[in-house]
Amino acid sequence: MLNETEILSAIAEIVEEVAGVDAAEVTAGKSFTDDLDIDSLLMVEITVRVEDRFEVKIPDDRSAELRTVGDAVAYIADYR
Amino acid sequence: MTASPAPTPAPAPSADRLAPWAFAAFVEANTHDTAYRPPVVDGPVGPTIVRNGRELVNFASISFLDLERHIPLQRHFAEGARAHGLSTSGSRMTQGICRPHHVLEETIARHTGKERAISFATGLLANIGFVHAMSSAAHFDTGIEVRNRDTVFVVDRDVHWSIWKGLEGLGYGRRVHAFRHNDVADLARVLERRRAPKTVVIAESLYSADGTMGPIVEILDECDRYGAVSMIDDANGFMVYGPEHRPYAREAAAIRERADFVMVSLSKAIGLEGGAIAGPASAVDAFELLSGTSMFTAAIQPPTAYTAERTIDVLAGKPEIVDDYLAHAARLRRQMHEAGTPTLPTESYMLSVPIGKDAAALQMREWFVEDGYLVPVFSYPAVSRNQALLRLFPHAGHTEEQMDGFLRTLLGYRRRLGV
């Protein structure tokens, strides 16, 4: 089972690949929209990749609540 | 005997049942009073338009070459109606293709440099049909089948609503990906990341959203590099760009010689209504069945198809019609730059004038109508908040006086609003 650091690192890799943001920039406290400049379309792509990578399902209403990278890490850690 | 007035309808009992849809609140909350009960237009639309009984100088007409007032074309339309009827009266799959549609499709194929074209009642139906045909599975009998549910689409974010509508349901992030508007590096990044055996890249030539010409040559280079099929929506460029002496000759040549598919509209330069997809013959043949929007809905009306073919040939044979229009549009663009109200940097005939604040743009729209001008204003949600712009179509029939009057009026508004 992955720990939170490993989840964060995998998310950072996905964000870098999808949005072209340097993985080092992707830290727990960052907001996807305000800090990493990821808009709604990119967010959908990232969500799909995260779902596949971690074999989780993120319903639309929950994905809107995942505002920071840390929110996403916590959601996946709890889900698993 | 006089006809008695129609009785006022009583409120429908369905009104309560419709409450969960919240239509009434939606309509009431929108302050733009023409959004739901558009003004009534009388007479033909051209350089001027009569709306609710008032004549306005019209900068909103997407049929901009002034062909609708051309008497020989009107006669040709009437002749087409007499010779070929008012309607196709049924599907081409059951009855066959009306002669004017057949000739029109051959003409479009010739002018787009493709093997075959198929026409649709509108450009929207052409785009939706294209996406559907490229992404569906059908099994008719042993060996008669296609399985294309694994097609991946990579599209410019600003492609027309009809493309996005066609892609709906294919799964954004799985079979649908978008690249940043006119950003070839981003397209390459998406193609690199999402390598798939069947990939279709869709971009527009001239974007209605901002009047820019897409980086067509570079997009087609990436398609070649990654083995992707290309489709260029040339609704706004068809029969306008192409000849060497006009802008965007390089892009038009690439669309003609290198794009796999091209979509054309008949409602822009051609001044009628309808659309078509042109491409390799075997694919377009299959689209008869697989597009769905050809077989299961109405077609272009025969006199329209008849006149469209004639118009395309006239525009090709008399280049001065489009040349004069482009010079006319370029003059207005130059005057705007000189007067300090520049358009977005594009050489296209669509003039986008950044205004900025949504409130200022909406105020301008009202003032323009009061002062006798119809000027399309794009504000949120059509564009980002406070990135409002005017999007003008100069019309071939506009007089210098009308264009000067518009420019003076716009400059006056800018001063009053401080924008």
* Residue B35's pLDDT band (cuts 50, 70, 90): low
DSSP output for B219-255: HHHHHHHHT-EEEEE-TTTTTTS-STTSTTHHHHHHH
Q: In angstroms, rounded to a whole number, what is the distance separating the alpha carbons of residues B75 and B69? A: 11
Is residue A1 pLDDT above 90, yes or no?
no
* Residue B201's pLDDT band (cuts 50, 70, 90): very high
Q: Which residue has the tokens 């694994």?
A: B150
Chain A residues with CB-CB distance to B157 below 8 A:
41
Question: Which residues fall within 8 angstroms of residue B350, CB to CB, at 6 or more apart?
Answer: B206, B208, B211, B236, B391, B392, B393
Does the active-site annotation cover A39? yes
Is residue B230 pLDDT above 80, yes or no?
yes
In this complex, the residue of B157, B174, B189 whose CB is nearest that of residue A41 is: B157
Is residue A10 pLDDT above 90, yes or no?
yes
ipTM for the predicted complex:
0.73
Classify A4-79 by CATH class: mainly alpha
Catalytic option among A39, A60, A71, A78: A39
Asked if A44 reaches chain B (Cβ–Cβ under 8 Å), the answer is yes
Higher pLDDT, B304 or A1: B304
Residue ranges of E strands in B186-333: 199-204, 229-233, 261-265, 275-279
In this complex, the residue of A17, A41, A46 whose CB is nearest that of residue B178 is: A41
* Pairwise CB contact (< 8 Å): B157 & A17: no
Question: Which residues fall within 8 angstroms of residue B129, CB to CB, at 6 or more apart?
Answer: B120, B166, B277, B287, B291, B292, B293, B294
Q: Averaged over A58-70, what is the pLDDT?
A: 87
CA-to-CA separations, B260 to A11, B27, B117, B187, in angstroms, rounded? 37, 43, 12, 17
Question: Which residues fall within 8 angstroms of residue B162, CB to CB, at 6 or more apart?
Answer: B123, B124, B125, B126, B127, B128
Could you tell me the maximum CA-CA distance found in chain B, to the nearest angstrom? 76
Between β-strands B388-392 and B229-233, what pairing exists: parallel, antiparallel or unpaired? unpaired
Q: Where are the domains of chain A?
A: 4-79
* Residue B383's pLDDT band (cuts 50, 70, 90): confident
In contact, A30 and A36? CB cutoff 8 Å: yes
Spell out the domains of chain B, with CATH numbers in brackets. 47-64+320-417 (3.90.1150.10), 86-316 (3.40.640.10)
Q: And the tokens for B205? A: 């030539």
Rounded to a whole number of angstroms, the distance from the CA of B345 to the nearest CA of chain A is 25
> Among B109-113, B297-301, B344-348, where is mean pLDDT lowest?
B344-348
Beta-carbon count within 10 A of A2 CB: 15
* Residue A14's pLDDT band (cuts 50, 70, 90): very high
- Output the average pLDDT for chain B: 93
Residues 18-37 of A with CB under 8 A from B: 18, 20
Q: Averaged over B86-92, what is the pLDDT?
A: 93
Please list the alpha-helical segments (H only) found in A25-64. Answer: 40-54, 60-63
Q: In angstroms, rounded to a whole number, what is the distance separating the alpha carbons of residues B104 and B66? A: 21
Asked if B101 reaches chain A (Cβ–Cβ under 8 Å), the answer is no
Summarised one tens digit per residue, pLDDT across range B297-337 is 999 999 999 999 999 999 999 999 999 999 999 999 999 99
